[in-house]
Structure 1
């Protein structure tokens, strides 16, 4: 997690470089959500509000931001459009996006926001896979699987994989938008519904409730049960490692959610 830097604390030369692209900035509001960007702010410009996020080029997380810039043209209009980029200006990499007025969804049981999240997954799954060097799901989880089981994760669907509610926006018109594309991945279509199911369990759903929501996506129909078992076990090991290395409460909740789902998959789940 990076410490957030206020707009006025940025080097003046960087603020000037941003203003050269955006026009004069009359107001800047730092955004509290998100953990991967040192700079995250909404700027008031002559052309309207713009969201900017930035990271120093010597930080390992800049690779994820570069992936986000590369994938952006291929995930329209689900993602806010990338307007411009400053690549290694004063030691910073900065992305500017169209500003989307909206709120993050509530993942609690019986939340009215969940159908919009399901719609976002269906929209993404229907997009063509871009000809880019994407992460491959078989390799992303390979550390926790043998070669045979890893092959079950293969596919040709574009995946987001991080369904933290901070990565979804529901616009004032009720339309879902997806942000923070640091890990665009090629893999089996059912992986994204599974990633959502884990987040729902962490938010208070039982494993059957979470899987019921996941099953409403079109991708779920093609999910072989043995592949779900394999993916669930891999996520137990992955989230246990993550929580052990950095025991923040939300990571511990995700590790517990992964165990709940894997245990539930040992017996048939009635819907």
Structure 2
């Protein structure tokens, strides 16, 4: 992503269109994290705070923002911020969300956030996904792996990922805001698939935060989908994460955690 724009960097007519929905903006604080939006900021208006994100409507990020807008009506407000309005003006697409206060989730061993995160994951698995075609994560995974799978285990992953459960697919601490409950944000990558997939994604994050792989799997076993999944499905998924992430993020803590988990599974 290029350098994130400030509120005053947006074209005047785009800012006017936002204010037609949100009211006069008297302050704007750009988000310090995230990489999927050219503009992302908390706007202070006369009626309170609104979180606004978006980018060029003809750019590669627009697909992600449209994905997020499509799934939002299906998400309960106690789980995810409600989409308040959508602006398309002069080649820009901006989404305005209910502001949710909170800090990023702590996934370290013994964290009091872990039960709240578990409750959020269970809520996600109970949601009926929107009837949007071509959102199967198995197909996406197969395309992403292509012919570059580095092991037989990685090649097998897509065949185990089919299902009809809503999958967030990016449950990292930056996308989970914790206050009295855990709220899940940034739904740009939602898909449909097997019920074990979101818990499995969190296993990697737990390992990255200091959990032993076996303990992380024990935590994930509280979810029926993960507990009942074929062992070889989880092993194949762990191997495929290493394959995919090493291509672009080889030296990150998360990729190192994926390697540790895959080695644990294949050891």
Same fold (TM over 0.5): yes
Q: 2 CA distance for matches of 1:110 and 1:189?
A: 25
RMSD: 1.6
Q: What residue is the counterpart of 1:84 in the other structure?
A: 85
1:168 pairs with 2:176:
yes
Query: Does the 8 A contact of 1:134 with 1:184 survive in 2?
Result: no
User: Which residue number in structure 2 is paired with residue 155 of structure 1?
Assistant: 163
Count of residues in Structure 1 that have an aligned counterpart in Structure 2: 257
Higher mean C-alpha deviation, range 198-207 or range 91-100 = 198-207
In 2, the alpha carbon distance for the partners of 1:140 and 1:152 equals 13
Q: TM-score, normalised by structure 1?
A: 0.89
Matches within 5 A, 1:233-244: 233-243=239-249
Distance 1:151 1:216, change over 3 A: same
**Does 1:216 pair with 2:217?**
no
Q: Which moved more, 1:17-26 or 1:213-222?
A: 213-222
Which ranges of structure 1 fall in alignment gaps of 5 or more residues?
none
Distance 1:149-1:9 versus aligned 2 partners, 3 A rule: closer
2:256: which partner in 1? 256
CA–CA distance in 2 between the matches of 1:72 and 1:261? 32
Report what 1:62 is aligned to: 62
Aligned position for 2:93: 93
Q: How far off its partner does 1:197 sit?
A: 0.7
Q: Residues 134 and 100 from structure 1, CA distance in 2 versus in 1: closer, same or farther, beyond 3 angstroms?
A: farther
The structural deviation recorded for 1:134 is 4.9
Contact 1:134 1:186 in 2 (8 A): no
CA distance in 1, matches of 2:257, 2:133: 31
Quote the offset at 1:183 in angstroms: 1.0
> Offset of 1:149 from its aligned partner?
4.8
Distance 2:98 2:254 in 1: 31
- The answer (yes or no) to whether the contact 2:70–2:130 under 8 Å persists in 1 is no
Q: How does 1:30-179 map to 2 (within 5 A)?
A: 30-77=30-77, 78-87=79-88, 89-142=89-142, 143=145, 144=149, 145-146=154-155, 149-171=157-179, 174-179=180-185
Q: 2:237 aligns with which of 208, 231, 244?
A: 231
Q: Are the aligned partners of 2:81 and 2:97 in contact in 1 as well (CA < 8 Å)?
A: yes
Q: What residue number does 1:194 align with?
A: 200
Report what 1:205 is aligned to: 211
